[in-house]
Amino acid sequence: MKKKPTTIKEIARKLRLSPSTVSRALNDHPSIGLVTTMRVKKVAEELNYEPNQTAIFFKQRRTFTIGVILPSLSEPFFSSAISEIENVAADHNYTVLMGQSRDDAARELQIIQTFKKHRVDGILMSLGKNTEDLSFIELLKEAEIPIVFFDCVPKIDGVNKVFSDLSSGMREAIQSFASIGHKNIALINGPEGLLASQERMEAYKLALANEGLVYSDKYMVETDLTEQGNIQAIDRLLALPDRPSAIVSFNDFVTLDVIKHVRQKGLVQKKDIYFISYANYPLWKYMENPPMGSIEQYPDQQARRAADILFQNIEAKEQLAPESIVFKSKLILK
């Protein structure tokens, strides 16, 4: 069904040269005479010759392709990451193969298999929320395909990872709240199962202690991150006899729902109640009444750094020691 593109052989036949000569001429090999080189290139041009990369990939055992596996391509965090990854890859003359796991571990494995079959030169990955089985890391190691994790990274040692330290931002958030007199500071956390939730919880407790505030269970509520869950969570807090005056929440989306809800209840932000959350989505800038702050995690910088490490590994002759890079999260006051 597909017409065969021009090959070196055809050029060779046309010029009564051997394919090897043509190949060398096209690659500007020094041993080939200038005249021949010119003749070859001219005919190649005429016939619209284009080297068959699939043949070259096959022969060279390199595809100049990296695979990227993300939970979602449509979330702002990941889309700014992927955008930056594509930039870095392009600088290295690499192409990017995309896979979306949708937080499905089975799908994640399938994508890894596909990438492996495609013989990608390396993989960048952010784990899905439910991924438990990390045995694919061993498989990739055996195949000598370097992998660098970022954002949601495995807890184990011995792998390349770039991730964000949530605690620095949390500390700054609690500090900010405390410095303007808040005592009852709550956390609306994500689902218990998530590593990201555990980290926030620990950071929250530490940060409270740091300010000499006591932790209380009642100020730690959970949401399943749906709109309904978010509203239930804030309602639970508002129902408390000594309701919190300041709230850190899992991410900006939670805060958006929550702000909307408390507004409907007649509470005024930065007067009756204060908010800070993770992500620092650009829209805050436009809000009439934004939350007090948001904690930036620098997805693009994380992604760039991860890509840099990946390319170092791809280009290295030797196996490199695994790197573990931590980006401090940072409170941005609005």
Partner DNA sequence: TTGTAGGCGTTATCAA
Partner DNA sequence: TTGATAACGCCTACAA
Indicate the residue type of 250.
F
CA of residue 288 relative to chain centroid, distance: 30
Burial zone of 22 (CB within 10 Å; 0-12 exposed, 13-18 middle, 19+ buried):
buried
Q: Are 110 and 87 contacting, i.e. CB atoms less than 8 angstroms apart? A: no
The Cα–Cα gap between 324 and 162 comes to: 6
Contact stretch for DNA (CB under 7 A) within 8-16, 79-87, 157-165, 264-272:
8-16
Beta bridge partners of 68: 98, 124
**Is 184 near its own copies (CB under 8 A)?**
no
**Is 46 near its own copies (CB under 8 A)?**
no
Write the DSSP symbol of residue 239.
T
The Cα–Cα gap between 137 and 158 comes to: 10
**Is 320 near its own copies (CB under 8 A)?**
no
Q: Which of residues 40-69 bind DNA (CB under 7 A)?
A: 51-52, 55-56, 58-59
Would you say 50 or 224 has its CB closer to its own copies? 50
Query: Which backbone phi and psi does 158 adopt, to 5 degrees?
Result: 80, 10
Binding site partner of 133, from its own copies, DNA, none, Cβ cut-off 5-8 A by kind: none
Would you say 72 or 216 has its CB closer to its own copies? 72
Three-state DSSP at 267 gives: coil
DSSP string, 127-193: --TT----THHHHHHHTT--EEEESS--SSSSSEEEEEEHHHHHHHHHHHHHHTT---EEEEE--TT
Q: Which of residues 66-105 bind its own copies (CB under 8 A)?
A: 72-76, 79-80, 82-83, 86-87, 90, 95-100
Contact stretch for its own copies (CB under 8 A) within 19-27, 108-116, 162-170, 198-206:
108-116
Would you say 38 or 287 has its CB closer to DNA? 38
Binding site partner of 90, from its own copies, DNA, none, Cβ cut-off 5-8 A by kind: its own copies
Contact stretch for DNA (CB under 7 A) within 11-19, 162-170, 226-234, 317-325:
11-19
Query: Which backbone phi and psi does 330 adopt, to 5 degrees?
Result: -140, 130
Selected from 257, 273, 276, 296, the binder of its own copies by CB under 8 A is 257
175-195 burial, b for 16+ CB within 10 Å, e for fewer? ebbbeeebebbbbbbbeeebb
Beta bridge partners of 147: 123
Binding site partner of 24, from its own copies, DNA, none, Cβ cut-off 5-8 A by kind: DNA
Structure tokens given for 181: 């007199």
Residue 241 CB, shortest distance to its own copies, in Å, is 29
Selected from 1, 3, 4, 286, the binder of DNA by CB under 7 A is 4
Residue 73 CB, shortest distance to its own copies, in Å, is 4
**Is 33 near DNA (CB under 7 A)?**
yes
Could you list the residues that contact DNA (CB under 7 A)? 4-5, 7-9, 16-21, 23-24, 26-27, 30-33, 35-36, 51-52, 55-56, 58-59
Could you list the residues that contact its own copies (CB under 8 A)? 1-3, 5, 48, 50-55, 57-58, 61-63, 65, 72-76, 79-80, 82-83, 86-87, 90, 95-100, 107, 114-119, 139, 142-144, 256-257, 259-260, 263, 283, 285-289, 317
